[in-house]
Protein backbone atom coordinates (compact mmCIF):
# COMPACT_ATOMS: atom_id res chain seq x y z
CA UNK A 1 0.00 0.00 0.00
CA UNK A 2 1.69 3.17 -1.17
CA UNK A 3 -0.56 5.74 0.50
CA UNK A 4 0.44 7.32 3.78
CA UNK A 5 -3.10 7.43 5.17
CA UNK A 6 -6.08 5.50 3.92
CA UNK A 7 -9.68 5.54 5.18
CA UNK A 8 -12.16 2.98 3.90
CA UNK A 9 -15.85 2.92 4.69
CA UNK A 10 -15.75 4.93 7.93
CA UNK A 11 -19.12 5.45 9.58
CA UNK A 12 -20.34 7.07 12.79
CA UNK A 13 -23.77 6.98 14.37
CA UNK A 14 -24.76 8.99 17.44
CA UNK A 15 -27.98 7.92 19.19
CA UNK A 16 -29.37 6.32 16.05
CA UNK A 17 -28.47 9.28 13.79
CA UNK A 18 -25.80 8.58 11.19
CA UNK A 19 -23.49 11.60 11.08
CA UNK A 20 -20.74 10.05 8.92
CA UNK A 21 -21.20 7.45 6.23
CA UNK A 22 -19.15 5.81 3.53
CA UNK A 23 -16.02 7.87 4.16
CA UNK A 24 -13.22 6.87 1.77
CA UNK A 25 -10.06 8.81 1.03
CA UNK A 26 -6.34 8.43 0.64
CA UNK A 27 -3.56 10.79 1.50
CA UNK A 28 0.03 10.90 0.34
CA UNK A 29 2.92 11.90 2.55
CA UNK A 30 3.39 15.69 2.65
CA UNK A 31 -0.12 16.47 1.44
CA UNK A 32 -2.51 18.90 3.08
CA UNK A 33 -6.05 17.57 2.78
CA UNK A 34 -8.72 20.12 3.68
CA UNK A 35 -12.07 18.83 4.96
CA UNK A 36 -14.40 21.60 3.79
CA UNK A 37 -18.11 21.85 4.40
CA UNK A 38 -20.90 23.69 6.21
CA UNK A 39 -21.33 23.55 9.96
CA UNK A 40 -22.73 20.21 11.15
CA UNK A 41 -21.63 18.16 8.11
CA UNK A 42 -19.34 15.93 10.20
CA UNK A 43 -15.85 17.46 9.79
CA UNK A 44 -14.91 17.47 13.48
CA UNK A 45 -16.31 13.98 13.98
CA UNK A 46 -14.16 12.68 11.12
CA UNK A 47 -11.06 14.48 12.40
CA UNK A 48 -11.62 13.07 15.89
CA UNK A 49 -11.92 9.56 14.48
CA UNK A 50 -8.63 9.99 12.62
CA UNK A 51 -7.04 11.35 15.81
CA UNK A 52 -8.25 8.33 17.77
CA UNK A 53 -10.37 10.43 20.13
CA UNK A 54 -13.50 8.74 18.76
CA UNK A 55 -13.90 5.19 17.51
CA UNK A 56 -15.37 4.58 14.05
CA UNK A 57 -18.39 2.23 13.91
CA UNK A 58 -17.29 0.61 10.66
CA UNK A 59 -14.53 0.50 8.07
CA UNK A 60 -10.77 0.70 8.40
CA UNK A 61 -8.14 3.36 8.92
CA UNK A 62 -4.51 2.75 7.96
CA UNK A 63 -1.48 4.98 8.48
CA UNK A 64 2.03 4.31 7.22
CA UNK A 65 1.60 0.55 7.23
CA UNK A 66 -0.21 0.42 10.60
CA UNK A 67 -3.84 -0.55 10.99
CA UNK A 68 -5.25 2.09 13.37
CA UNK A 69 -8.93 1.18 13.38
CA UNK A 70 -10.85 -1.89 12.30
CA UNK A 71 -13.92 -2.33 14.51
CA UNK A 72 -14.90 -5.56 12.72
CA UNK A 73 -11.68 -7.03 14.11
CA UNK A 74 -12.02 -5.30 17.47
CA UNK A 75 -9.05 -3.06 16.68
CA UNK A 76 -8.63 0.54 17.90
CA UNK A 77 -5.22 2.06 18.44
CA UNK A 78 -5.33 4.59 21.30
CA UNK A 79 -4.73 8.24 20.47
CA UNK A 80 -1.35 8.57 22.21
CA UNK A 81 0.12 5.68 20.21
CA UNK A 82 -0.75 7.32 16.87
CA UNK A 83 1.83 10.11 17.28
CA UNK A 84 -0.47 12.69 15.68
CA UNK A 85 -0.76 16.32 16.85
CA UNK A 86 -3.89 18.43 17.00
CA UNK A 87 -4.53 22.16 16.83
CA UNK A 88 -7.93 23.44 17.97
CA UNK A 89 -9.93 26.58 17.33
CA UNK A 90 -9.67 27.66 20.99
CA UNK A 91 -5.82 27.26 21.17
CA UNK A 92 -6.05 24.98 24.26
CA UNK A 93 -2.74 26.11 25.78
CA UNK A 94 -1.99 25.32 29.42
CA UNK A 95 -2.44 28.67 31.17
CA UNK A 96 -0.16 27.94 34.13
CA UNK A 97 2.84 27.12 31.92
CA UNK A 98 5.08 29.51 30.00
CA UNK A 99 5.05 29.50 26.20
CA UNK A 100 8.31 27.51 26.15
CA UNK A 101 7.00 24.96 28.67
CA UNK A 102 3.82 24.50 26.64
CA UNK A 103 5.89 23.74 23.57
CA UNK A 104 8.36 21.55 25.51
CA UNK A 105 5.69 19.45 27.21
CA UNK A 106 5.27 16.79 24.52
CA UNK A 107 9.04 16.51 24.12
CA UNK A 108 9.42 15.92 27.86
CA UNK A 109 6.80 13.18 27.70
CA UNK A 110 8.78 11.61 24.84
CA UNK A 111 11.84 11.63 27.12
CA UNK A 112 13.91 14.04 25.05
CA UNK A 113 17.03 15.26 26.90
CA UNK A 114 16.92 18.78 28.28
CA UNK A 115 19.52 20.39 25.98
CA UNK A 116 17.99 18.94 22.85
CA UNK A 117 14.54 19.94 24.08
CA UNK A 118 15.71 23.54 24.45
CA UNK A 119 17.07 23.56 20.91
CA UNK A 120 13.88 22.08 19.49
CA UNK A 121 11.63 24.53 21.37
CA UNK A 122 13.70 27.47 20.13
CA UNK A 123 13.58 26.12 16.59
CA UNK A 124 9.78 25.76 16.39
CA UNK A 125 9.15 29.05 18.19
CA UNK A 126 11.36 30.69 15.56
CA UNK A 127 9.34 29.02 12.80
CA UNK A 128 6.16 30.64 14.09
CA UNK A 129 7.93 33.94 14.90
CA UNK A 130 7.33 33.63 18.62
CA UNK A 131 10.90 33.19 19.92
CA UNK A 132 10.74 36.54 21.74
CA UNK A 133 7.76 35.31 23.77
CA UNK A 134 9.22 32.08 25.19
CA UNK A 135 8.96 33.15 28.84
CA UNK A 136 5.53 34.74 28.61
CA UNK A 137 2.37 33.24 29.97
CA UNK A 138 -0.21 32.37 27.27
CA UNK A 139 -2.81 34.52 29.02
CA UNK A 140 -0.82 37.65 28.10
CA UNK A 141 -0.80 36.89 24.39
CA UNK A 142 -3.21 37.89 21.64
CA UNK A 143 -5.36 35.24 19.97
CA UNK A 144 -3.09 35.11 16.94
CA UNK A 145 0.00 34.71 19.11
CA UNK A 146 -1.63 31.97 21.16
CA UNK A 147 -2.53 30.09 18.01
CA UNK A 148 1.07 30.41 16.79
CA UNK A 149 2.26 28.83 20.05
CA UNK A 150 -0.27 26.08 19.75
CA UNK A 151 0.94 25.34 16.21
CA UNK A 152 4.55 25.31 17.47
CA UNK A 153 3.56 22.89 20.24
CA UNK A 154 1.91 20.60 17.69
CA UNK A 155 4.94 20.66 15.37
CA UNK A 156 7.59 20.30 18.11
CA UNK A 157 7.04 16.56 18.48
CA UNK A 158 7.41 16.02 14.70
CA UNK A 159 4.00 14.37 14.42
CA UNK A 160 3.35 11.74 11.79
CA UNK A 161 0.20 13.69 10.97
CA UNK A 162 -0.93 17.19 11.93
CA UNK A 163 -4.67 17.64 12.48
CA UNK A 164 -6.14 21.15 12.60
CA UNK A 165 -9.77 21.88 13.46
CA UNK A 166 -10.82 25.38 12.32
CA UNK A 167 -7.58 26.85 13.74
CA UNK A 168 -8.25 30.37 12.42
CA UNK A 169 -11.97 30.66 13.14
CA UNK A 170 -11.56 32.44 16.49
CA UNK A 171 -9.40 35.21 14.99
CA UNK A 172 -10.55 38.45 13.39
CA UNK A 173 -10.55 38.80 9.60
CA UNK A 174 -7.24 40.59 9.09
CA UNK A 175 -5.29 38.28 11.38
CA UNK A 176 -6.95 35.24 9.86
CA UNK A 177 -5.73 36.34 6.45
CA UNK A 178 -2.12 36.83 7.66
CA UNK A 179 -1.97 33.58 9.60
CA UNK A 180 -3.50 31.68 6.70
CA UNK A 181 -0.61 32.74 4.47
CA UNK A 182 1.98 31.96 7.17
CA UNK A 183 0.46 28.59 7.87
CA UNK A 184 0.65 27.71 4.18
CA UNK A 185 4.37 28.54 4.17
CA UNK A 186 4.93 26.60 7.39
CA UNK A 187 3.18 23.49 6.10
CA UNK A 188 5.23 23.58 2.92
CA UNK A 189 8.54 24.27 4.70
CA UNK A 190 8.13 21.54 7.29
CA UNK A 191 6.71 19.06 4.78
CA UNK A 192 4.35 17.78 7.46
CA UNK A 193 1.34 15.75 6.32
CA UNK A 194 -1.81 17.56 7.46
CA UNK A 195 -5.58 17.34 7.58
CA UNK A 196 -7.17 20.76 7.98
CA UNK A 197 -10.83 21.30 8.84
CA UNK A 198 -12.62 24.50 7.81
CA UNK A 199 -15.93 25.86 6.56
CA UNK A 200 -14.09 28.70 4.77
CA UNK A 201 -13.46 28.26 1.05
CA UNK A 202 -10.62 30.81 0.90
CA UNK A 203 -8.69 28.85 3.56
CA UNK A 204 -9.33 25.66 1.66
CA UNK A 205 -8.19 27.21 -1.64
CA UNK A 206 -4.95 28.57 -0.24
CA UNK A 207 -3.91 25.63 1.97
CA UNK A 208 -5.17 22.46 0.31
CA UNK A 209 -3.25 20.18 -1.97
CA UNK A 210 -6.65 18.48 -2.18
CA UNK A 211 -10.08 19.34 -0.83
CA UNK A 212 -12.60 16.80 0.45
CA UNK A 213 -15.90 18.65 0.18
CA UNK A 214 -18.29 17.28 2.81
CA UNK A 215 -22.07 17.45 2.94
CA UNK A 216 -24.44 15.73 5.35
CA UNK A 217 -21.92 13.23 6.64
CA UNK A 218 -20.47 12.22 3.29
CA UNK A 219 -17.61 13.25 1.06
CA UNK A 220 -19.43 14.94 -1.81
CA UNK A 221 -16.33 15.41 -3.97
CA UNK A 222 -12.57 15.12 -3.50
CA UNK A 223 -9.88 16.66 -5.68
CA UNK A 224 -7.48 19.52 -6.26
CA UNK A 225 -9.04 22.92 -5.47
CA UNK A 226 -8.94 23.97 -9.13
CA UNK A 227 -10.58 20.73 -10.18
CA UNK A 228 -13.49 21.05 -7.74
CA UNK A 229 -13.99 24.68 -8.69
CA UNK A 230 -13.82 24.03 -12.44
CA UNK A 231 -15.88 20.86 -12.51
CA UNK A 232 -18.18 20.60 -9.50
CA UNK A 233 -19.82 17.18 -9.31
CA UNK A 234 -23.13 18.33 -7.91
CA UNK A 235 -25.37 21.32 -7.36
CA UNK A 236 -24.17 21.40 -3.74
CA UNK A 237 -20.51 21.59 -4.81
CA UNK A 238 -21.32 24.27 -7.41
CA UNK A 239 -23.15 26.37 -4.83
CA UNK A 240 -20.71 25.95 -1.95
CA UNK A 241 -17.62 27.04 -3.88
CA UNK A 242 -17.91 30.30 -5.76
CA UNK A 243 -21.12 31.83 -7.11
CA UNK A 244 -23.01 29.65 -9.56
CA UNK A 245 -26.17 29.81 -11.64
CA UNK A 246 -28.27 26.68 -11.96
CA UNK A 247 -31.17 26.05 -14.31
CA UNK A 248 -33.08 22.79 -14.75
CA UNK A 249 -32.90 21.53 -18.35
CA UNK A 250 -33.93 18.67 -20.60
CA UNK A 251 -33.25 17.76 -24.21
CA UNK A 252 -35.99 19.12 -26.44
CA UNK A 253 -36.42 19.39 -30.24
CA UNK A 254 -32.71 18.87 -30.94
CA UNK A 255 -31.70 21.56 -28.47
CA UNK A 256 -32.13 22.25 -24.79
CA UNK A 257 -35.18 23.45 -22.94
CA UNK A 258 -34.48 25.35 -19.75
CA UNK A 259 -37.35 25.16 -17.30
CA UNK A 260 -40.71 25.00 -19.06
CA UNK A 261 -40.44 27.46 -21.91
CA UNK A 262 -36.90 28.72 -22.53
CA UNK A 263 -35.30 26.99 -25.55
CA UNK A 264 -31.66 27.32 -26.55
CA UNK A 265 -29.67 25.89 -29.45
CA UNK A 266 -27.15 23.33 -28.33
CA UNK A 267 -25.14 20.58 -29.92
CA UNK A 268 -26.22 17.63 -27.85
CA UNK A 269 -23.07 15.48 -28.02
CA UNK A 270 -22.42 14.07 -24.59
CA UNK A 271 -25.16 16.06 -22.86
CA UNK A 272 -27.18 13.94 -20.38
CA UNK A 273 -30.94 13.84 -21.08
CA UNK A 274 -31.83 16.09 -18.19
CA UNK A 275 -30.39 17.66 -15.09
CA UNK A 276 -29.14 21.10 -14.16
CA UNK A 277 -27.24 23.48 -16.38
CA UNK A 278 -24.57 25.29 -14.37
CA UNK A 279 -22.60 28.38 -15.27
CA UNK A 280 -20.38 30.42 -12.93
CA UNK A 281 -21.17 34.08 -12.27
CA UNK A 282 -17.82 35.15 -13.74
CA UNK A 283 -18.72 33.52 -17.07
CA UNK A 284 -22.00 35.41 -17.43
CA UNK A 285 -21.81 38.77 -19.15
CA UNK A 286 -24.67 41.26 -18.81
CA UNK A 287 -25.02 44.29 -21.07
CA UNK A 288 -27.81 46.73 -21.99
CA UNK A 289 -26.75 46.63 -25.66
CA UNK A 290 -26.81 43.63 -27.95
CA UNK A 291 -23.59 42.08 -29.15
CA UNK A 292 -23.03 39.36 -31.77
CA UNK A 293 -23.29 35.91 -30.20
CA UNK A 294 -19.80 34.71 -31.25
CA UNK A 295 -20.26 31.18 -29.99
CA UNK A 296 -21.96 32.39 -26.84
CA UNK A 297 -25.39 31.47 -25.56
CA UNK A 298 -27.38 34.72 -25.60
CA UNK A 299 -30.61 35.21 -23.68
CA UNK A 300 -32.84 38.23 -23.35
CA UNK A 301 -33.43 39.41 -19.82
CA UNK A 302 -34.32 42.25 -17.51
CA UNK A 303 -31.97 43.68 -14.89
CA UNK A 304 -33.21 43.51 -11.27
CA UNK A 305 -30.30 45.25 -9.64
CA UNK A 306 -26.56 45.80 -9.81
CA UNK A 307 -24.18 45.50 -6.85
CA UNK A 308 -20.95 47.46 -7.07
CA UNK A 309 -18.04 45.16 -6.15
CA UNK A 310 -15.21 47.67 -6.50
CA UNK A 311 -13.62 46.38 -9.69
CA UNK A 312 -16.90 45.66 -11.51
CA UNK A 313 -20.63 45.33 -11.04
CA UNK A 314 -22.55 42.20 -10.26
CA UNK A 315 -25.83 42.22 -12.19
CA UNK A 316 -28.81 40.21 -11.01
CA UNK A 317 -31.10 39.58 -13.95
CA UNK A 318 -34.12 37.55 -14.84
CA UNK A 319 -33.91 35.76 -18.18
CA UNK A 320 -35.96 33.78 -20.62
CA UNK A 321 -39.63 32.93 -20.68
CA UNK A 322 -39.25 31.23 -17.30
CA UNK A 323 -37.75 34.26 -15.60
CA UNK A 324 -34.70 32.47 -14.15
CA UNK A 325 -32.65 34.63 -11.84
CA UNK A 326 -29.00 34.71 -12.94
CA UNK A 327 -25.97 36.50 -11.55
CA UNK A 328 -23.34 37.85 -13.88
CA UNK A 329 -20.93 40.73 -14.28
CA UNK A 330 -21.41 43.99 -16.06
CA UNK A 331 -19.13 46.94 -16.91
CA UNK A 332 -21.54 49.54 -15.71
CA UNK A 333 -24.37 50.13 -13.30
CA UNK A 334 -27.60 49.06 -15.05
CA UNK A 335 -30.84 50.68 -13.84
CA UNK A 336 -33.56 48.37 -12.52
CA UNK A 337 -35.99 47.28 -15.22
CA UNK A 338 -33.55 47.79 -18.12
CA UNK A 339 -33.76 45.15 -20.87
CA UNK A 340 -30.39 43.42 -21.13
CA UNK A 341 -28.59 40.76 -23.08
CA UNK A 342 -27.10 37.93 -21.03
CA UNK A 343 -24.28 35.95 -22.64
CA UNK A 344 -22.11 33.04 -21.63
CA UNK A 345 -19.70 30.92 -23.63
CA UNK A 346 -20.76 27.33 -24.33
CA UNK A 347 -17.43 26.08 -22.85
CA UNK A 348 -18.36 27.59 -19.48
CA UNK A 349 -21.45 25.42 -19.17
CA UNK A 350 -21.49 22.26 -17.02
CA UNK A 351 -24.27 19.71 -16.86
CA UNK A 352 -24.93 18.39 -13.37
CA UNK A 353 -26.82 15.20 -12.58
CA UNK A 354 -27.39 15.71 -8.86
N1 LIG B 1 -21.07 13.44 20.73
C2 LIG B 1 -22.12 13.66 19.93
N3 LIG B 1 -23.34 13.17 20.22
C4 LIG B 1 -24.39 13.35 19.41
N5 LIG B 1 -24.33 14.03 18.24
C6 LIG B 1 -23.15 14.56 17.89
C7 LIG B 1 -21.97 14.40 18.70
N8 LIG B 1 -20.93 15.01 18.07
C9 LIG B 1 -21.45 15.53 16.94
N10 LIG B 1 -22.76 15.27 16.81
C11 LIG B 1 -23.62 15.64 15.67
O12 LIG B 1 -22.99 15.18 14.50
C13 LIG B 1 -23.13 16.10 13.43
C14 LIG B 1 -21.76 16.48 12.91
O15 LIG B 1 -21.11 17.26 13.89
P16 LIG B 1 -19.62 17.81 13.68
O17 LIG B 1 -18.73 16.68 13.30
O18 LIG B 1 -19.25 18.55 14.90
O19 LIG B 1 -19.80 18.78 12.44
P20 LIG B 1 -18.86 19.97 11.91
O21 LIG B 1 -17.53 19.87 12.59
O22 LIG B 1 -18.78 19.76 10.42
O23 LIG B 1 -19.58 21.24 12.22
C24 LIG B 1 -23.92 17.26 13.99
O25 LIG B 1 -25.27 17.08 13.63
C26 LIG B 1 -23.72 17.14 15.48
O27 LIG B 1 -24.82 17.66 16.16
MG1 LIG C 1 -16.48 21.27 13.75
Residue 40 CA to ligand 1 center (angstroms) comes to 6
Instruction: Give the helix/strand (H/E) hosting 48.
Output: helix 43-51
Confidence of residue 320 (pLDDT cuts 50, 70, 90): confident
Q: In which residue ranges of the chain is CATH 2.40.50.140 found?
A: 244-352
At 233, the pLDDT band (50, 70, 90 cuts) reads very high
Name the pTM for this structure: 0.92
Q: Is the CB of 14 under 6 A from ligand 1?
A: yes
CATH 3.40.50.300 occupies which residues in the chain?
Answer: 5-236
CA of 165 to the centre of ligand 2 (A): 7
- Largest CA-CA distance found in the chain, in angstroms, rounded: 79
- For 42-70, what is each residue's pLDDT tens digit? 999 999 999 999 999 999 999 999 999 99
Short-list 36, 9, 10, 21, CA closest to 224 = 36
CA atoms within 13 A on the CB side of 67: 11
160-178 pLDDT, tens digit each:
999 999 999 999 999 999 9
Angle subtended by helix axes 143-156 and 173-190, to nearest 10: 20
Taking each helix axis as running N to C, give the angle between helix 143-156 and helix 114-127, from 0 to 180 degrees, rounded to the nearest 10: 130
pLDDT at 286 exceeding the cut of 90: yes
Q: CATH homologous superfamily of domain 244-352?
A: Nucleic acid-binding proteins (2.40.50.140)
Pocket flag, ligand 1, residue 39 (CB < 6 Å): yes
- Best CATH choice for the domain 5-236 from the list 3.40.630.70, 3.40.50.300, 3.40.50.2020, 3.30.390.30: 3.40.50.300
- In tens, the pLDDT along 98-108 reads 999 999 999 99
Amino acid sequence: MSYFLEARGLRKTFDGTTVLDDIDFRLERGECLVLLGPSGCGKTTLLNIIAGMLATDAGELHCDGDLLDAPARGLHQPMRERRFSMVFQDFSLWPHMSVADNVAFGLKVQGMARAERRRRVAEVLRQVQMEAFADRSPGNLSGGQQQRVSIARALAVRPRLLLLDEPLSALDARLREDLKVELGTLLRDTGVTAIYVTHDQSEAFSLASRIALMYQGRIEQIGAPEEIYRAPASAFAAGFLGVSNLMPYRRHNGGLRLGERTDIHWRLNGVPDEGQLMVRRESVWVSPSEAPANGCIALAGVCHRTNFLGDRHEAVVSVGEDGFTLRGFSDERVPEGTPVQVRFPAEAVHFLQR
